[in-house]
Structures are given as C-alpha cells and as structure tokens.
Amino acid sequence: MTSEVGPTGPKENRRDFLKYFLGGGVVAWLGAVLYPILAFLIPPKQGEVEVTSVKAGKLGEIEKESGTIVRFGNKPVILIRNSSGECVAFSATCTHLDCTVQYRKDLGVIWCACHNGRYDLKGQNISGPPPRPLDEYRVIIQGEDVLISKKV
C-alpha cells in the first residue's frame, strides 16, 4: 500500500482515505437507522389493530338474491341481498364445526356444505347440526358503497 502512495507521503493519503470511510460510514449509518424508522412510520395496509368495518362493494354490483363472502379481518362474513333488495350480513362461520357457509338461491337459505346445516335469512339455525344462530353484522349503505361493521 505504501509503495503506491505519491510524494505527499502515506500519512496524508491514509488520512483522506479515513475521511471517506468516516463520512461514508456516518451516511450509511444514518441510512441504516432512518430506513427502518421511516418504514415504520408508513401506515400498514390494514390501518388498525381490529377490523371494525370493511367495504363489501358497490350496491349496484351486488345482485338481488345473492350471497357473497367478504373477508372481515381473519374471519369470513356472508353478505346477502334478498329478493326485495335489502342487505344483511352474518358471520360466515358455521356454528357447528366452523366451515364457511354459503347462500343457496334454490333453497332460499344459508347452507353449510360440510354437514348440510341450514340457516334462514335472519341467521337462525333451522335444520341440521348447527347449535346456534349465526352472529349478525351490521350493513351500512353509504351512497353506493356497502359497508359491513360489527354489531355494537
């Protein structure tokens, strides 16, 4: 290394080298510290700890006599629009063994494929093994948007 240095002497050169290291090091260090902090400050996709409401879609896009599964946090919710156009929502978790229920247009009920459990469109268990009614959620219609929120 000393063989390569010029007439100014090895010391001066090394000093400059060190300066770059120090300066670069400080900048890199700042980056290493600030990057996680800034990333931390960006709000995550799910804005809050507990999901309190989700947007289920546009009213115009939801057909009459249909049921759709909407993800509500880690749980599925079934949004049902009945023949008169009203919307209701229930927990889509069957109260028997936690399968996900579906809307059966032909039967006019909420149906569980696992053991043929049935609920009416008020969420009441009407036949098969389910021991309890489905939990109800609140449906709020804001303009065109259909929102589902927890019953308070």
Partner 1 sequence: MKPVWKRLYDWVDERVELGGLVEFLGKKYVPVHRHSIWYYFGGVSLFLFIIQVTTGILLLLYYKSGEELAFESVQFITSKVQFGWLIRSVHSWAANLFILAAFIHMFSVYFTRAYRKPREITWITGMLMFFLGLFFGFSGYLLPWNELAFFATKVGTDIAGAIPIIGKPVMIFLRGGEDVTGATLSRMFGFHIAILPGIFSVCLGIHLLLVQRQGMSEPEESGKDMKTMPFFPNFLLRDLLLWLLVMNVLAILAVIFPWELGHKADAFASAPAGIKPEWYFLFMFQMLKYIPAKILSIDGEVLGILVFSAAGLLWTLVPFWDRETKRGTRGRFLTYVGIAAVVCIISLTIVGWLS
Partner 2 sequence: MAVVRHRFLHFVLWVIVTSVSSLASLALAQDQCRTCHEGLGDTPSALFKKDIHAEMGLSCADCHGGNPKTEDMEEAMNKAAGYIGVPKGDGISEVCAKCHSSASIMVKKFNSVLPRNQAELLSASVHGKLSTTGREAIVPCTKCHGAHGIVTKTNPASPVNALNLPKTCAKCHSAAGYMRTYNPALPIDQLDKYRTSVHGKRNASGDIKAAECANCHGSHGILSAKDVRSSVYPTNIPATCAACHSNAEYMRGYGIPSDQLEKFTKSVHGISLLEKKDLGAPACNDCHGNHGATPPGVESISKVCGTCHALNADLFSKSPHKKAFDQRKLPECESCHGHHDILVATDELLGVSANAVCSWCHGKKPESKAYLAAKRMREAIDSLGNSERAATMLVQEAERMGTEIGEAKFKLREVRQARLESRTMVHSFDDEQLQEVVEKGFKSAAAISDGARLAMEDYHFRRRGLGVATLIITVLAVSLYIYIRRLERKQAKS
The residues binding partner 1 (CB under 8 A) are 29, 36-37, 39-42, 44-46, 48-50
SS3 39: helix
Contact residues for partner 2 (CB under 8 A)?
15, 18, 21-22, 25-26, 28-29, 31-32, 46, 71, 73-74, 76, 97-100, 113-116, 127-131
Least distance (Å) from partner 1 to the CB of residue 32? 9
Which residues make Cβ contacts (< 8 Å) with residue 89, sequence separation at least 6? 56, 70, 77, 78, 79, 80, 136, 137, 138, 139, 148
Whole-number Å distance between alpha carbons of 34 and 18: 24
The radius of gyration of the chain's CA atoms, rounded to the nearest angstrom, is: 30
Q: Which residue, 36 or 131, has its beta carbon nearer to partner 1?
A: 36
Least distance (Å) from partner 2 to the CB of residue 22? 5
Contact 73, 92 (CB under 8 A): no
Contact 66, 79 (CB under 8 A): no
Q: Which does 106 bind (CB under 5 to 8 A by kind): partner 2, partner 1, none?
A: none
Least distance (Å) from partner 1 to the CB of residue 36? 4
Q: Which residue, 97 or 141, has its beta carbon nearer to partner 2?
A: 97
Q: Which residue, 17 or 35, has its beta carbon nearer to partner 1?
A: 35
Q: Which residue, 29 or 86, has its beta carbon nearer to partner 2?
A: 29
Whole-number Å distance between alpha carbons of 77 and 100: 9
